[in-house]
Amino acid sequence: MPAQDFQTLVAELEQRGWLRRVRVEVDPILEISEIADRTVKSGGPALLFERVRGSNIPVLINTFGTKQRMCHALGVDDFQQLADRVKALIKPEMPTTLLEKIKKLPQLIALGSLPPKIVRRGICQEIVHRDDADLTALPAIKCWPGDGDLTRNAYAHVTQAMRSAGGRDSDDALRQATNTSSKSAISVTEGSELAREYFGEAGFLNHGPETTGNATAGHPKSEIRDFKTPNLSELLPPRNDGRYLTLTNVFTKNPHTGERNIGMYRVQVLGPKLAAMHWHMHHDGARHFRMHRELGKRMPVAVSFGGPAVMPYAATCPLPPGIDECLFAGFLNGGAIELVPCVTQPEIEVPASAEIVVEGYIDPQDAPVIEGPFGDHTGFYSLADLYPRLHVTAITQRRNPIYPTTIVGKPPQEDFWLGKATERIFLPLLQTIIPDIIDYNLPTFGCFHNCAFVKIKKEYPYQARRVMSAIWGAGQMCFTKMIVVVDAHVNVQDENEVLFHMLANCDPRRDCVITDGPLDILDHASPGCGVGSKIGWDATRKWPAEGAVRTWPDELEMSPEIRELVTRRWKEYGL
């Protein structure tokens, strides 16, 4: 069974020799990241830093940095065990006899126990900081040298806003940012939702300081309500030393239905009670923010760390909107996740066994704040941009907590195994949408969204193209920039084997499909932010109906009898 809190997980990892304690003092600014980067790339242990400069809270990192540790956190020996459970859940065999129905009862009872359970108290609230809450007291790490450096890796509109706000009267700066010469330096298609609204052609900065509402492309002015018109200087972060909360569980709710969402979003520390919430327009947290903004209501938010060992993974799962990650966590956990209402944001519940919880709210009337840059999982910095302000109302914690964190960067990193778990566990779900798929692989170098290798049993012409289109229409798989489809005998987990068949079987003009659509916001190569082209390669054996096909030769393969003979005599050869 998975560990029910991170203190137990640490003890289990240490007992198995999978965790190393670092007892010398280390700096959360870059030093921890460099140590962790070297450790994860060498397949090393989880690291518990007991003495972190500037904080009395130990830091845990690289918790999930190997397949072995990721499986242990999920309570299984192999990801396939969970995939089999998912498959049984979505394709249950219906009992036909009384005996079969009786045998089915334990499974039905178990399913009924999976929804989260609300409790009155939790160890995450053993110590409560309200007025004395201080984000800067947490050992938040700076991951990469350019994190928070606004002199580089910033969108043009951010650079322009900083120049316009610096050292001038705010009204004059606003006029300067809206005149013709300034607009030419600001892209209206780049950046976050808020950046497009503030700096885009339909944004209020281009309507002058007298505007009280806001409109953006596709959103009539009446739908975007009650924005305060900021001075450009208000967009500047009061503090920006590049420190981030990373291995987060960010809890939000749909204000109409009360449906819960948990996402793993980065949060930049900007002061004792101020942070920047980074989420992309495709994320459920951003969708909840838009709903609160349309209602003109403050949005309660909680950021928890730790809790049941399955929670960090559950927060990264690509579940459909409206599916509670806590319910899925209960499925992974083998029992309900206990949640406790927040102290100052009681609409939001968090894991009762969490190590630390940051409570707060986002006010939709606030001006956004410049967040970033941040060294991301793509191996490049994501550019500084405008994101919502998170106001901290309380920080609660258990006694003697551990602060879990992670770094992302050039793969492989710890997040690779979170992604690989999703690849394996969600294969049965993907197969319900696209039954043609036998297996798939999201290779390390693809950074999750850039590449997918897909295996099918080919039964008709252009089947590979149908599968590509289906993948580009399947939830977050829509961001996949390159798809390679191969035949059933190809091992998609062997990347060299896939590339061999791709180069051997493909004619670019006949077998390449290029289309346009949404892309990962972090894809800096795309011509537009979050949109661009994708490519599909049909690397299957071609059929006559698929265009000009010459005589197709047989692939080299040794006879089974000789393979068996050589295997049997191998020791005789003295090799």
Beta bridge partners of 395: 129, 358
Q: Are 156 and 185 in contact (CB under 8 A)?
A: yes
3-state secondary structure of 262: strand
- Total Cβ atoms within 10 A of residue 170: 15
Helix residue ranges, H only, 296-385: 311-316, 325-333
**Nearest residue to 397 (alpha-carbon basis) of 138, 142, 141:** 138
Pairing of strands 127-129, 389-397: antiparallel
436 flagged as catalytic = no
How far apart (Å, rounded) are the C-alpha atoms in residues 201 and 206? 6
Angle at which helices 79-90 and 415-425 cross, to 10°: 40
Q: Are 64 and 312 in contact (CB under 8 A)?
A: yes
Helix (H) or strand (E) holding 14: helix 6-15
Q: Within 13 Å, how many C-alpha atoms sit on residue 369's CB side? A: 25
How far apart (Å, rounded) are the C-alpha atoms in residues 436 and 430? 10
470: exposed, middle or buried (C-beta count within 10 Å: 0-12, 13-18, 19+)? middle
Non-local (6+) Cβ contacts of 519 within 8 A are: 449, 479, 481, 526, 530, 531, 532, 534
- Total Cβ atoms within 10 A of residue 62: 25
Determine the distance from the C-alpha atom of residue 205 to the mean position of all C-alpha atoms in its chain, rounded to a whole number: 32
Q: Are 360 and 301 in contact (CB under 8 A)?
A: yes
> Which entry of 5, 147, 376, 538 is annotated as an active-site residue?
376
Question: Active-site positions?
Answer: 376
